[in-house]
Amino acid sequence: MKAFVYRGPGLKGVEDRPKPKIQASGDAIVKMVKTTICGTDLHILKGDVATCAPGRILGHEGVGIIDSVGAGVTSFHPGDRVLISCISSCGKCEYCRRGMYSHCTTGGWILGNEIDGTQAEYVRTPHADTSLYPIPEGADEEALVMLSDILPTGFECGVLNGKVAPGSTVAIVGSGPIGLAALLTAQFYSPAEIIMIDLDDSRLGIARQFGATHTVNSADGKAAEAVKALTGGRGVDAAIEAVGVPATFLLCQDLVAPGGVIANVGVHGQKVDLHLETLWSQNITITTRLVDTVTTPMLLKTVQSKKIDPTRLITHRFKLDQILEAYDTFARAADTQALKVIIAA
């Protein structure tokens, strides 16, 4: 089968690989139908994710059709159409029993990281009964690809951790796919203001279409002053970091109001300064999280009922044999205006 392979920092390619086989009784082999590229995949290609070794097939999102299942799988059968969660969960270990599927002792974020992922014609998914979701009849499969990772990530790591509430003020730093997913799902809670911050006016324009009340281009280095002006000098109740670089986390420290929350979503590949000399007395909370996907069933219902439309995040479509072009398009988002790309297997 064809597969996209990480070959080491800065190195990638398409290779012929053997079709995966059942290795454990809870496994399923899924024939991929549609997948996508995540910002985390770009971090891997830079060498920022130490757990991902060269030779790994990347990808942790997508929808497909069950090809075969292990003897222990009871919820799915060959021919079933399924949504693949980016997080594999046994449902039995201490962390899974606490709802922290991301830290499952035999799962977590392993697809496209510690085991081969979804950017291929087939993928082996461990713990199939608790890591796959049946696709409802008539569902838009492209919309559901957004439920593998970015919608639950923006919602859980940003909105829920940020304690977004009715009437609150929210700043989302980064108007890429994750930031826009946080914007879409923050509106469940009717905050009074959602301020989107980015360097790209095109993405800020999209954020306004998606429901941002204000946008700020941070290229001039004065984003904090602009946000303070919009909030009567207070700052924001929730500052959601959705990029994963030092400058954006530092900006969140300048934006947060006393008693507020900094909710980190971004994948950080280098150290970041924490200015406790100014924050120690401000009663703030800082949260970090790897998505647990505990909200996926709820989000699936909101998509099915048309409360949110994640297909608005999709800007480009490719075939699997065009995946190198897809990566180039996604990596040069400032030039291509790419948000999420769909790759049809």
pLDDT tens, residue by residue, 216-255: 999 999 999 999 999 999 999 999 999 999 999 999 999 9
DSSP state of 156: I
DSSP state of 87: S
pLDDT tens, residue by residue, 297-330: 999 999 999 999 999 999 999 999 999 999 999 9
Per-residue pLDDT, averaged over 251-275, amounts to 96
CA distances (Å), origin 266, targets 20, 39, 58, 237, 262? 31, 9, 19, 19, 12
Residues 331 and 71: their CA atoms lie apart, in Å, by 41
pLDDT tens, residue by residue, 135-175: 999 999 999 999 999 999 999 999 999 999 999 999 999 99
Report the percentage of the chain scoring pLDDT > 90: 97
Predicted confidence band of residue 110 (pLDDT cuts 50, 70, 90) = very high
Report the percentage of the chain scoring pLDDT > 70: 100
Ranges for all domains in the chain classified under CATH 3.90.180.10 = 2-149+292-344
Angle ∠(291,245,339) on CA atoms, nearest 5: 65
Ranges for all domains in the chain classified under CATH 3.40.50.720 = 152-287
pLDDT higher than 90, residue 201: yes
Helix (H) or strand (E) holding 242, with range, is none
Q: Average pLDDT, whole number, for the chain? A: 97
Residues 46 and 43: their CA atoms lie apart, in Å, by 5
Per-residue pLDDT, averaged over 112-130, amounts to 98
Please tell me the class of the 2-149+292-344 domain.
alpha beta
- What is the model's pLDDT at position 269? 84
For the domain made up of 152-287, give the CATH fold: Rossmann fold (3.40.50)
pTM of the model: 0.96
